[in-house]
Amino acid sequence: MTETSQFSALGLPDDLVKSIVAMGFSEPTQVQREAVPLIDSGRDVIIQSRTGTGKTLAFGLPMLAKLNSEDLSPQMLVICPTRELAMQVAAQLHTAGGHRHIAATAVYGGTKIDPQIQALLYGSHVVVGTPGRLNDLIEGKHLKLNKCRYVVLDEADEMLDMGFRLAIEYILGWVPNERQTVLCSATMPAEVRAIAETYMTNPATLAVNMTAATPLKISHQMIEVRPERKSATLTDLLRKDQPPLAIVFCRTKAETRELFNRLQRAGFRVGMLQGDMEQDKRTEALARFKSGEINLMVATDVAARGIDVDSVSLVINYSVPQDPETYVHRSGRTGRAGKEGVSLIFVTPEDRYYFAQIEKKVSFMTYGSPAPAPTPEIAASKPAIDTESAAEPAARPARGIRSRRPAETAPAIEAEFVESTPAPLPTLAIPTPLRRDPAEMTDVDPAEWEHLPSLIGQWAEAPLGIRFQRLAESLLAGATAEELVKGLLVSVMPRLANGSIANGSGGDNDGQRRRRGRRRRRGGGGGRQGEFNGGGGDFGDS
């Protein structure tokens, strides 16, 4: 059977089939095979399917086939939760309808409205937009939906989670009652069902690939970590594995910004996607990620809905999602187009309940544990590894964050120094290059040692019996003794003296100590007397 006839068998017109084949699709996906005939029959349909299954063309193809190309009024409306998803859906529908001369326009907030108004004046058969911008255009009488006969609520669960219910109901109020409605949602909470019952007529429900929560080519792995160690653990992991393209998911916009700043300061090529960003910056970040200019994207769940990159090899759940379906959506960003991928989740003690819900649907392995068909050395059990490691220390995996590569290829810094640690401690990430000839140590910029306080802080939780042994051996693996002494003198020791290492920053403690010193000197007294007498202390005038 030829490529053309496989899509023709769905009852699609020849001009649509030509566009599909030109887009590079060789055969329909499961959701397309099942949804196209249902939608083509004119029924309202609820599509419950995970991301990456081809549902955009599943609802788009049968509707595009019914549009009148000679009438430039909006005949099809697609409502999306995010700008990126709206642009992605509009581009795909515009390309699919190319041979039928169907035009699709994306409208969304975060950018000027005038160009979008102008595009609608020129005429568009399909309008794809976010609820807020669609409301603005309707209220301004720039968008008329009196001829719209096809409506799609894409990612309905996400839109309702974002509080768009009133906006959606307002938009649907301007669409004629004689319409066909398709609702796409990965989950079916009560609010989504309420929308379906109110605005759909006897809908057919199509659940595709929901029993298999995620693609088979995705390896699901987990890391147990203390909350205060999450960012350092992530940094060590990224330095070690160096994924070509990776997405890190956070739960909130504030957490996304904080993690982005940390990774950027650590020297990673990282971008950010979150709802408070201006549209041009979001578009630029997404384009840089797709081109490979940056290989790491930190994003919230909703902002990442427009990321459609087949070569993402690693998804990191920095924050555990509160429902299993969100984890399924996140994981679906990797393992696409037949490629293998890894979905990694960070689990803190506070996350155990939510992780247990996800674990009911997905089988996890501990990060760094053996693959299903490993070499004998890697496949050995923990006692066997310990016994073997006694003879060959270099063959042991690092403690805590362990590499998926064979242990013998790991750098020397990953060697384990003490076996009796009650809790795993990650390997220090030493910036490179650090080694120099001792003769070159006369002029060392203190800025080069800004990382040393944080490195020492990483070991503050270690048991006293091993703390300094591990610290010394780890640091010496990346720097000479002369460099360490110089670094301690020019950077670490002053911070230890003023207490700034204790809270990880140094801003408040440094300022407080300097102010107290000045007040003592102004008070003219020694010891602590000046802090309470003569207006020079913390309780005098300021």
What pLDDT digit, counting tens, does each position of 140-161 carry?
999 999 999 999 999 888 888 7
Q: 97-111, 360-374, 448-462, 508-522: which has the minimum mean pLDDT?
A: 448-462
Domain limit, last residue, from 159, 178, 208:
208
Rounded percentage of the chain residues whose pLDDT exceeds 70: 63
What tens digit of pLDDT does each residue of 287-312 get?
Answer: 899 888 999 999 987 666 656 677 88
Q: Identify the domain containing residue 346 by its residue range.
A: 218-366
* Residue 354 shares a structural domain with residue 382: no
Task: Answer yes or no: is 513 within a domain.
Answer: no
Residue 432 pLDDT level (bands cut at 50, 70, 90) = very low
Same domain as 278, residue 341: yes
User: What's the rounded Cα separation, in Å, for the pair 183 and 73?
Assistant: 22
Does residue 275 lie in a domain region? yes
Q: Does 130 lie in the same domain as 50?
A: yes
Between 138 and 10, residue with greater pLDDT: 138
Asked if 171 and 247 sit in the same domain, the reply is no
Residue 28, pLDDT above cutoff 50 = yes
Let me know if residue 372 belongs to a domain: no
Is residue 440 one of the residues assigned to a domain? no
Residues 21 and 48 in one domain: yes
Structure letter (DSSP) for residue 116: H
Mean pLDDT for the chain?
74
**pTM metric for this prediction:** 0.53
Are 13 and 99 in the same domain? yes
The answer, yes or no, to whether residue 100 has pLDDT greater than 80, is yes
In a domain, 239, yes or no: yes
Round to the nearest angstrom and report the end-to-end CA distance of the chain.
Answer: 86
Residue 534's pLDDT band (boundaries 50, 70, 90)? very low
Query: Which among 208, 228, 245 is the end of a domain?
Result: 208
Question: What does the DSSP assignment read for 441-471?
Answer: GGS--GGGGTHHHHHHHHTTTS-HHHHHHHH
Same domain (yes/no): 282, 257: yes
Q: Which of 303, 338, 366 is the last residue of a domain?
A: 366
Question: Residue 357: its pLDDT value, please?
Answer: 86
Q: Is the pLDDT at 254 greater than 70, yes or no?
A: yes
What's residue 363's pLDDT?
A: 85
Mean pLDDT along residues 205-215: 61
Q: What is the pLDDT of residue 405?
A: 37
**Long-range contact set of residues 9-18: C-beta below 8 Å, sequence gap at least 24:** 10/36, 10/37, 10/40, 10/61, 11/36, 11/37, 11/40, 12/36, 12/61, 12/62, 12/65, 13/65, 13/100, 15/99, 15/100, 16/61, 16/64, 16/65, 16/96, 16/97, 16/99, 16/100, 18/99
Residue 465 in this model has a pLDDT that exceeds 60: no
Shared-domain flag, residues 260 and 284: yes
Please report where in the chains the tokens 């759909």 appear, as a residue.
Answer: 200
Domain count, the chain: 3
Query: How many Cβ atoms are within 10 Å of 151's Cβ, its own excluded?
Result: 23
Residues 248 and 177 in one domain: no
Q: Is residue 489 part of a domain?
A: no
Question: The tokens of 364 are what?
Answer: 């996890």
CATH classification at residue 238: 3.40.50.300
Can you tell me the mean pLDDT for 384-388?
A: 35
Let me know if residue 319 belongs to a domain.
yes
Does one domain contain both 28 and 172?
yes
One domain, residues 115 and 24:
yes
Same domain, 187 and 238: no
Considering the domain boundaries, does residue 505 fall inside one?
Answer: no
